Amino acid sequence: MDTRKGSIRILMFPWLAHGHISPFLELAKSLAKRNFVTYICSSPVNLNSISKNLSSKDSISVKFVELQIPATPELPPHYHTTNGLPPHLMSNLKRALDMARPAFSTLLQTLKPDLVLYDFLQPWAPEEAESQNIPAMVFLCAGAAAGSFFMYDWLKPRSGYPFPAIYFREHELCRLVEFGSDTNGAGRVLNCVKRSCDVVLIKTFRELEGQYIDFVSDLIGKRCVPVGPLVQEVGCDMENEGNDIIEWLDRKDRRSTVFASFGSEYFLSANEIKEIAHGLELSGLNFIWVLRFHRGDEKIKIEEKLPEGFLERVEGRGRVVEEWAPQRRILSHPSVGGFLSHCGWSSVMEGVYSAVPIIAVPMHLDQPLNARLVAAVGFGEEVVRSREGNLDRGEVARVLKKVVVGKSGEGLRRRVEELSEKMREEGEKEIDSVAEELMVTLVRRRERSNLKSENSMKKLNVMITENRGGMLAENT
């Protein structure tokens, strides 16, 4: 039962990844301040992983709804997330989500939301919504620069159409095939975009990617509406996470320490571990390194994966963290002066939000394009691999020192501080415009469909007045 009478009700349906369900949750929390009630549907394991980021106040207007995904021997329920998933099971997970289509349809019949917000890998979600006369809109959790490259590559516009000013290096192209070739990743994304009604929401902000937002809008023939960075606040819910790491950072000088992390679903190869370990050691800098392995590798002893004697040699200035680290909290610590990152999009947004320059070591998917953007906009530098795509410890150490303690690092820091300020200014305004887009979409739908009866339009107008009233009240 809605706790707010007359609120506009949204069902959100993110892909089964931590780097996706978090932005959807942050968007739901922001819309709750604008009088929307949101139901986030995902697998139990995913909802459980974000439950600590939902305060009791948020949970008045943000509800979790479990989507039962059929379990199979190779994909038991605790594998219904990309967080820690053995990489060879990623395609199985996409197919398992497809098998949840009937359960999703039932959810729609039960909840009867006013609108559905879905993600980039489930093109059947808007079909199910439309079959029940519910408008559906896609929310892309990656960046617009990466989106402009992929959309250009997949849509192949007429010759002479301007090419996006972002590119892959030769050795990175072969890793593109990973993008679900056997589950037609490109086709899924394209259909999700094509079936989105009216606009496409995208997790970015104009100061950072304005030219790419306009490029994608023109290319796909739909307006791309930036929703802002959606970075999770470092709030009371995270206060107790990783206290020992925070206390360790408290004992380090301001901006003296590198935070190294590679996201929730990428697991470094043996060679990458070796070169990054030696690079961190050679840099002479303090560091916190999140070195995680996928669930299938539970019995791993971390010292067996690191160079001989590495932990002893860096004792006191470096720490290797095997478990899930409070990334937002660490990045906001004054002792952190550089972020060695794979450039997953949420990590890039969080680096900017905390005004920490990025040492980019992209791995796959959109990350190389995000890394090009980081360097082009001037808030970080990329560790360039060899032509064969190998990392080199000397190059890792060189870029680390240049960004964290070098003269040119000051320019990067100034730029990321500027961006961070702009990001915070724009954030609230962008959520207001998203709220308006959602309401306009509803009005258009009611006017076009058989719901344009006097009574239904009157009810909708009351809801919208309430929402706008709610937004004003929240903002005063």
Ligand X SMILES: C[C@@H]1O[C@H](OP(=O)(O)OP(=O)(O)OC[C@H]2O[C@@H](n3ccc(=O)[nH]c3=O)[C@H](O)[C@@H]2O)[C@H](O)[C@H](O)[C@H]1O
Question: What DSSP designation does 323 have?
Answer: S
What mask, x for binding ligand X by CB under 6 A, covers residues 117 to 156?
------------------------xx--------------
Q: Which of 114, 350, 381, 432 binds ligand X (CB under 6 A)?
A: 350
Which residues make Cβ contacts (< 8 Å) with residue 113, sequence separation at least 6?
A: 9, 10, 11, 39, 134
Per CB under 6 A, the segment of 32-40, 73-81, 152-160, 342-350 that binds ligand X is 342-350
CA-based nearest residue to 43, from 14, 66, 11, 74: 66
Classify strands 136-140 and 199-202 as parallel, antiparallel or unpaired. Answer: parallel
Question: What DSSP designation does 295 have?
Answer: G
- 230/174 Cα distance (integer angstroms): 31
Q: How far is the CB of 459 from ligand X (least distance, A)?
A: 37
Is residue 332 a contact point for ligand X (CB under 6 A)? Answer: no
Alpha carbon dihedral 441, 443, 447, 449, in 10-degree steps, equals 60
Give the full edge-to-edge strand order of the sheet including 62-66.
62-66, 36-42, 8-13, 115-118, 136-140, 199-202, 223-226
CA-based nearest residue to 230, from 61, 138, 349: 349
Is residue 14 a contact point for ligand X (CB under 6 A)? Answer: no
By CB under 6 A, the residues from 202 to 261 that bind ligand X are 261
Residue 228, classed as helix, strand or coil, is coil
Per CB under 6 A, the segment of 91-99, 192-200, 280-288, 322-330 that binds ligand X is 322-330
* Active-site pick, 114, 119, 366, 432: 119
CB-based closest residue to ligand X: 344
Q: Are 292 and 266 in contact (CB under 8 A)?
A: no
Per CB under 6 A, the segment of 164-172, 273-281, 340-348, 396-404 that binds ligand X is 340-348
Torsion sign over Cα 290, 295, 298, 301: negative
Q: Is 119 a catalytic residue?
A: yes
Is residue 367 a contact point for ligand X (CB under 6 A)? Answer: yes
What mask, x for binding ligand X by CB under 6 A, covers residues 20 to 59?
--x-------------------------------------
Is residue 372 a contact point for ligand X (CB under 6 A)? Answer: no
Is residue 113 a contact point for ligand X (CB under 6 A)? Answer: no
Is residue 352 a contact point for ligand X (CB under 6 A)? Answer: no
Is residue 345 a contact point for ligand X (CB under 6 A)? Answer: yes
Question: What DSSP designation does 122 have?
Answer: -
Length of the chain: 476
Number of chain residues interacting with ligand X (CB under 6 A): 24
By CB under 6 A, the residues from 446 to 465 that bind ligand X are none
Q: Is 78 a catalytic residue?
A: no
Question: What DSSP designation does 339 have?
Answer: E
Q: Are 34 and 471 in contact (CB under 8 A)?
A: yes
Which runs of E-coded beta strand occur in 168-232? 199-202, 223-226
Is residue 325 a contact point for ligand X (CB under 6 A)? Answer: yes
Is residue 18 a contact point for ligand X (CB under 6 A)? Answer: yes
* Active-site pick, 20, 278, 333, 342: 20
What mask, x for binding ligand X by CB under 6 A, covers residues 260 to 299?
-x-xxxx-----------------------x---------
Q: Applying CB under 6 A, which residues contact ligand X?
A: 17-19, 22, 141-142, 261, 263-266, 290, 324-325, 327-328, 344-347, 350, 365-367
Please list the active-site residues: 20, 119
